[in-house]
Amino acid sequence: MPAFLDHDFLLDTGIARRLYHEVAAGLPIIDYHSHLQQGEIAERKRFRNITELWLGGDHYKWRLMRSAGVNEQLVTGAASDEDKFRAFCSVLPLAAGNPIHHWSHLELQRLFGIDLTINATNAPRIWQAANSRLAEMDCWSFLDLAKVEIACTTDDPADDLGQHAELANSALKTRVLPAFRPDAAMRCNKPDFPAYLQRLGGVAGVRITDFASLVEALAVRVRFFHAQGGRISDHAIDLALPPGEITPALCEALLSRRLSGAELSEAELGAFQRGLLQALGKVYAQQGWAMCLHIGAQRNNNRRRLNTLGPDTGYDSISDFTTSAGLADLLDALDAEDQLPKTLLFCLNPAMNEVLSTLIGAFQDGATRGKVQFGPAWWFNDHKDGNLRQLQTLAAHGVLGTSVGMVTDSRSFASYPRHEYFRRLLCRQLGQWVEAGEYPDDEEALGQIVRGVSYENAKHYFGL
Query: Could you report the per-residue pLDDT of 175-223, keeping only the tens digit for each?
Result: 999 999 999 999 999 999 999 999 999 999 999 999 999 999 999 999 9
Q: Where do you find CATH 3.20.20.140 in the chain?
A: 14-45+142-461
What's the rounded mean pLDDT across residues 90-111?
Answer: 98
CATH superfamily of 14-45+142-461: Metal-dependent hydrolases (3.20.20.140)
Q: Where do you find CATH 1.10.2020.10 in the chain?
A: 46-137
Note the pLDDT of residue 323.
82
pTM, rounded to two decimals: 0.97
**What is the H or E stretch that residue 12 is in?**
none
Contact 178, 218 (CB under 8 A): no
What's the rounded mean pLDDT across residues 388-396?
Answer: 98
pLDDT at 141 over 90: yes
Note the pLDDT of residue 139.
97
Alpha-carbon gap, residue 293 to 275, rounded angstroms: 14
User: Which alpha helices (H) appear in 11-80, and where do they start and end?
Assistant: 14-19, 38-42, 50-55, 59-67
Note the pLDDT of residue 322.
76
One-letter amino acid of 207: R
| pLDDT band at residue 253 using 50, 70 and 90 as cut-offs | very high
Note the pLDDT of residue 428.
98
Average pLDDT, the chain: 97
What's the rounded mean pLDDT across residues 387-399?
Answer: 98
| pLDDT band at residue 123 using 50, 70 and 90 as cut-offs | very high
Task: Name the nearest CA neighbour of 420 among 128, 204, 110.
Answer: 110
pLDDT digits (tens, 9 = 90+) for 163-178: 999 999 999 999 999 9
Alpha-carbon gap, residue 417 to 421, rounded angstroms: 6
Say if residue 320 is exposed, middle or buried (CB neighbours under 10 Å; 0-12, 13-18, 19+): exposed
Note the pLDDT of residue 44.
98
Give me the CATH code for the 46-137 domain, please: 1.10.2020.10
pLDDT at 452 over 80: yes
pLDDT digits (tens, 9 = 90+) for 271-312: 999 999 999 999 999 999 999 999 999 999 999 999 999 999
pLDDT at 321 over 90: no
pLDDT at 2 over 90: no
DSSP code at position 421: H
Please state whether beta strands 342-347 and 372-374 pair in parallel, antiparallel, or not at all (unpaired). Answer: parallel
Spatial neighbors of 405 by CB under 8 A, at least 6 apart, are 30, 376, 422, 453, 454, 455, 457, 458
What's the rounded mean pLDDT across residues 392-417?
Answer: 97
Note the pLDDT of residue 448.
98
